[in-house]
Homo-oligomer: A and B are copies of this chain.
């Protein structure tokens, strides 16, 4: 399987998982959606379509998105995600989505030192986390994936308590 194949599989899993979260109505009724990593803005654009009435706040080092997919200034937080997103702890987000794997194991291992704790701190009890990297944390309970998503391709959790 080429890296192109893997990328298509991961993006498809991401899209199908987000659609599943909407269809199954998994989000708490209140709270923002936090997108960790804006990138080109394609996923933000998808989130915006799925949840037109939710506040969506995006975090990234810098803006590199297509102009059609840049949030309002008040919903962009620029800087190191680990630091900037921590400022939103305790604000009871409905969902955290993070697709910030790099394909480099050592870099991803460093990310996984802070991402699970950060995610829990951001979410409301009952809030949802969707991630391209596995989030190992006692307060994050894995939820079943919809059919067609391989178990190690994308990850879905609910914050319990």
Contact = CB atoms under 8 A, between A and B. Distances in A.
Give the bracket for the number of chain A residues in contact with chain B: 20 to 34
A25 interface: no
A14 to B, nearest CB: 8
Contacts of A48: 2
A2 B66 contact: no
B11 A45 contact: no
A73 interface: no
Copies of this chain assembled into the complex: 2
Contacts of A11: 4, 7-8, 11
Interface string A26-48: 00000000000000111101101
A35 B2 CA distance: 16
Contacts of A15: 4-5, 8
Contacts of A4: 11, 14-15, 42-43, 45-46
A12 interface: yes
A156 B15 CA distance: 28
Given A11-B11, A66-B103, A103-B66, A41 B3 contact: yes
6 contacts: A2-B42, A2-B46, A2-B48, A3-B46, A4-B15, A4-B42
